A = this chain, B = another copy of it.
Amino acid sequence: MCVAAQTFLRSNALISPSIHFTTSVIRLEGEYMRTRNRQDGFLNRSAPSAPPVNRLLATLPKNEYKRLLPKLKTVNLVLGELLYESGDAIKDVYFPNDSIISLISEVSERSWLEVGMVGNEGMAGLPVFMGVSSSSIRALVQGSGTAMRMSSAAVRMEANRVGSLHRLLHRYSHSLLTQVSQSAACNRFHLVEARLARWLLMTNDRLGAEAFPLTQEFLSHMLGVRREGVSKAAGALQAGKLIRYSRGVITILNRRGLEAKSCQCYAIIKAETDTYLN
């Protein structure tokens, strides 16, 4: 958690790392607890038509799922938590239920970019399955919720036997690569407003909530633009009554409208993500 906050705020270079560290832990945990308490189940998740479980795991045949169950542990992931850092050993992998994990690439202290988003359709920690112990990509919790955690050792076992999980992870790898490629092109060609709309929709899909805590500062790192750019784009979306936001909480008011503002990339990525499990 400490590490999480440290990274989360690393961009603010004016304050010394240690100060950073302390204040941001407080800030993050504080913010989270507050929002959770203010309104029970703050996220306003819509009535769960489907129970919030990881769809990748849910697709496994029963016997295989049973075999894996002892190795899986439900854990809570909190916004801002850093699951693994660039270059560090990956100790566990995560199958999100209703949480979201961002895969982030960094080219400099202040320039980050989300290259992929992992929700209940996938797993964070693919490098382990691929036989690599660390990655240059950072995994940061972008939406609070639960996930199923599995040790890297257990994942490495799965890499050695071709079973249902093995095959599913292959399909997922392809899906993720597609997502990363599509958003690379999207980030290159599309305007900030469209990309913001896409990002909010993707988050909405995975979180199953209409409102979620996110500052513009955080968003700016996801989209790879300045905070002021997010302010402008978000302001435009709010003016159009598509979203509402205040002090780190964003609420989606009009999904259809957001879809119209977003680029095709949203639909393309969603189609890929939704169909690979079939």
Give A residues with C-beta under 8 Å from B.
103, 105-108, 111-113, 115-116, 126-127, 129-132, 135-137, 159-162, 167, 170-171, 173-174, 176-178, 180-190, 224, 263-265, 268, 272, 276
- Say whether A103 contacts B171, CB under 8 Å: no
Smallest CB separation, A87 vs chain B (Å): 11
- Say whether B178 contacts A272, CB under 8 Å: no
- Say whether B131 contacts A171, CB under 8 Å: yes
With A107-B190, A162-B161 as known contacts, state yes or no: A132 contacts B174, CB within 8 Å: yes
Chain B CB within 10 A, most for which of A131, A160, A171, A264 = A131
Bound CA–CA A181/B115 (angstroms): 6
With A107-B189, A186-B107, A189-B224 as known contacts, state yes or no: A177 contacts B126, CB within 8 Å: yes
Bound CA–CA A275/B221 (angstroms): 29
With A113-B189, A159-B162, A185-B224 as known contacts, state yes or no: A107 contacts B174, CB within 8 Å: no
Bound CA–CA A115/B160 (angstroms): 30
Bound CA–CA A189/B112 (angstroms): 9
In the complex, the chain B residue whose C-beta lies closest to that of A110 is: B189
- Say whether B189 contacts A137, CB under 8 Å: no
In the complex, the chain B residue whose C-beta lies closest to that of A168 is: B131
Smallest CB separation, A199 vs chain B (Å): 14
In the complex, the chain B residue whose C-beta lies closest to that of A268 is: B136
Chain B CB within 10 A, most for which of A132, A159, A184, A263 = A184
A sample of 7 cross-chain residue pairs with beta-carbon separation below 8 angstroms, ordered by A number, consists of: A107-B264, A111-B188, A112-B185, A130-B171, A131-B174, A137-B178, A176-B177
- Say whether B113 contacts A171, CB under 8 Å: no
Smallest CB separation, A157 vs chain B (Å): 11
With A113-B189, A159-B170, A189-B113 as known contacts, state yes or no: A182 contacts B105, CB within 8 Å: yes
Chain B residues within an 8 Å CB radius of A103: 181
Chain B residues within an 8 Å CB radius of A187: 184, 187-188
